[in-house]
């Protein structure tokens, strides 16, 4: 599968940011895109921004609501008859110290960033197995590879989905299903505006690192191109992020010392 032409691509968290950028790029490459998120007005705007919007559709869904996920899956099959790609992008970030983060907030982040993606994937998996083909993509984070201050639960959830995806890949590799995990570094989106503080509320301010991050459309092009090239482990970011990932493999102790000295909020 070297092209997206006429591929049915279901993207979660598609109402803004990385999800929106992925949708725009996939549509431009000829895919039939299904957008999912909680905000219908925003999904309608994204839909109308796509090339040939009549080829695409949206399905409202909260990934933490299992009833909605099951219904959305059936709706997608009714509309398109199949699912070629599932891109698990829905997520929420964090900006709070561990000592400030309530257990309710800890669980909320895990529900969105880990359990939501797991349940949706388990829901779609039988369809892909029956087809005998398909791609499952998870949007993790460089934070899930290195861990930093103010993002403990977010990093844990992103690391968890990475390991879960690795196991899934091993289990379905000989059944025509490809599994890729993408690790974004800083990408210029509204992720930090929506990141949760310790009480579980959006922090409502933009981080300077995110403000100076990679353009979301450039990220989308690199991400989809890498998946089409059958890459499983995809790190996309600047030199600092790539250095951090490299050090996490070869010199983790040095990385931990560096992280302690860096202001990352």
Catalytic option among 114, 150, 154, 233: 154
Give the residue among 132, 151, 134, 133 at the shortest CA–CA distance from 143: 151
Give the per-residue pLDDT at 206.
84
CA–CA gap between residue 200 and residue 198 (Å, rounded): 5
Residue-wise pLDDT for 158-209, tens only, equals: 999 999 999 999 999 999 999 999 999 999 998 989 999 999 999 988 888 7
pLDDT at 44: 98
Active-site residue, 154 included: yes
**Does the pLDDT of residue 34 top 70, yes or no?**
yes
* Residue 49 reports pLDDT greater than 80: yes
- CA dist., res. 115 & res. 207, Å (int): 27
Given this model, what pLDDT does residue 153 score? 98
Point out the least confidently predicted range of 10-19, 83-92, 203-212.
Answer: 203-212
What is the arithmetic mean of pLDDT over 211-219? 91
- Nearest CA-CA partner of 227 in 187, 186, 182, 184: 182
Q: What value does the mean pLDDT take over residues 91-106? A: 97
Alpha carbon separation from 25 to 1, 13, 20, 45, 66 (Å, rounded): 17, 15, 9, 15, 29
State residue 212's pLDDT score: 82
- Neighbouring C-beta atoms of residue 175, cutoff 10 Å: 13
Give me the pLDDT at residue 1, please.
52
Residue pLDDT, tens place only, 236-246? 998 888 889 99
Find residue 9's DSSP bridge partners. 33, 85
Mean pLDDT of the 210-223 span: 93
State residue 114's pLDDT score: 98
Please provide the average confidence, as pLDDT, over all residues in the chain: 95
What structural domains and CATH numbers belong to the chain?
Answer: 8-239 (3.40.50.720)
């Amino acid at each position: 599968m070297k092209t997206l032409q006429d591929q049915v691509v279901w993207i979660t968290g598609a109402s803004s940011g990385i999800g929106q950028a992925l949708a725009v790029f996939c549509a431009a490459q000829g895919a039939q895109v299904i957008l999912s998120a909680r905000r219908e007005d925003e999904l309608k705007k994204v839909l109308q921004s796509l090339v040939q919007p009549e080829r695409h559709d949206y399905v409202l869904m909260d990934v933490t609501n299992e009833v909605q996920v099951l219904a959305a899956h059936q709706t997608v099959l009714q509309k398109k008859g199949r699912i070629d790609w599932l891109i698990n992008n829905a997520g929420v970030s964090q900006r709070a110290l561990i000592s400030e983060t309530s257990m309710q907030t800890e669980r909320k982040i895990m529900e969105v960033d880990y359990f939501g993606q797991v349940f949706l994937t388990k829901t779609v998996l039988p369809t892909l197995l029956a087809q005998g083909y398909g791609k499952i993509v998870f949007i993790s984070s460089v934070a899930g590879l290195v861990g930093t201050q103010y993002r403990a639960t977010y990093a844990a959830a992103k690391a968890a989905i990475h390991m879960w995806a690795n196991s899934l890949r091993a289990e379905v590799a000989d059944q025509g299903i490809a599994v890729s995990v993408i690790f974004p570094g800083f990408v210029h989106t509204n992720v930090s505006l929506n990141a949760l503080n310790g009480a579980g509320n959006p922090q409502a301010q933009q981080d300077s690192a995110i403000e100076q991050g990679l353009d979301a459309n450039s990220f989308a092009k690199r991400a989809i191109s890498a998946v089409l090239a059958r890459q499983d482990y995809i790190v996309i970011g600047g030199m600092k992020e790539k250095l951090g990932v490299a050090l996490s493999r070869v010199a983790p102790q040095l990385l931990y010392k560096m992280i302690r000295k860096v202001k990352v909020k």
